[in-house]
Amino acid sequence: MTAASFPVSAAPRVVALEGVSWQPWRNGRGRTRELLAWPQANDWQVRVSVAEIAAAAPFSAFDGVERWFAVVDGAGVDLRVDGVARRMTAGAVPLRFDGGAAVDALPVDGTSRDLNLMVRGSGAMALATADAWWSPVPAPDPARPPAPARPPAPAGALEPARRLQAQAGFYAAQAVRWVAQLEARRTVVSAEGELPGDALLWFERAPRRLRVQPLSAAASPARSPGWWLAAFPQDAAPGHDRA
């Protein structure tokens, strides 16, 4: 249960992995469970899923999308992103890459389950530390120089894409108690609840900050309780082709 005095529209969504059906990848070479597709499944700006990689396969291409990848469990995955090799294992720092990149995946030793965040805009994914506050902010990209000042658009020109409301959440590797600080009615309120393992907690209006604590006293302090996720979607400019 959640305890807070914030509007119902700000209440978080909880999606348990076991309650979501498998669906094929876009290219048919694997399968995944889609935990979140916002605002709708057939025209999303933000998508969170857990995929299963059982054999060598290329990833589906998603042009114009920023992707994040982390291994949930299994021995790991060897990725080749536009020719650059990278071994991903459980507990490794999540990997960010262009959704339009050529990506080949090979499970290291048996089937791997993997967390995916895709955003039409920018996002962030990070390993969580138990009982430490986290704030959803865009991840810095050293390869991307600061955007130059934009001159005023001429009359009649299409307006550029605009940043939408930030969203954020947490994917639990184990059962946790969570606490969130949210802005509501010109003040800050606290919300809290419990989240089972292999479940997504998602706020369509990102909290100021979040914190989690494993429910089991026997949980290893060296093991991360899960992953923080943030999305900063961008609206399409008028007339933009979403196909």
Q: How far apart are CA 107 and CA 95, in angstroms?
A: 16
pLDDT of residue 50: 98
pLDDT of residue 105: 98
Work out the end-to-end distance of the chain between its first and last CA atoms, rounded to an integer number of angstroms.
39
The model's pTM is 0.85
CB 115 within 8 A of CB 171: yes
Helices (H), the chain: none
Task: Copy the structure tokens of residue 152.
Answer: 């005023």
Tell me the domains of the chain and their CATH numbers. 8-135+161-233 (2.60.120.10)
What DSSP assignment string belongs to 193-224?
Answer: EEE-SSEEEEESS--SEEEEEES-TT--TTS-
Task: Copy the structure tokens of residue 212.
Answer: 């989690």
pLDDT of residue 107: 96
Taking residue 124's Cβ as centre, other Cβ atoms within 10 Å add up to 23
Task: Copy the structure tokens of residue 25.
Answer: 């990848």
- The rounded radius of gyration (Å) of the Cα atoms in the chain is 19
pLDDT of residue 237: 42
Per-residue pLDDT of the chain (243 residues; tens, 9 = 90+): 344 444 444 689 999 999 999 999 999 999 999 999 999 998 999 999 999 999 999 999 999 999 999 999 999 999 999 999 999 999 999 999 999 999 999 999 999 999 999 999 999 999 999 999 999 998 886 555 444 444 555 554 444 556 688 999 999 999 999 999 998 777 888 999 999 999 999 999 999 999 999 998 777 777 899 999 999 998 754 333 332
Query: Nearest 5°: phi and psi at 119?
Result: -135, 135
pLDDT of residue 149: 47
pLDDT of residue 138: 86
pLDDT of residue 188: 83
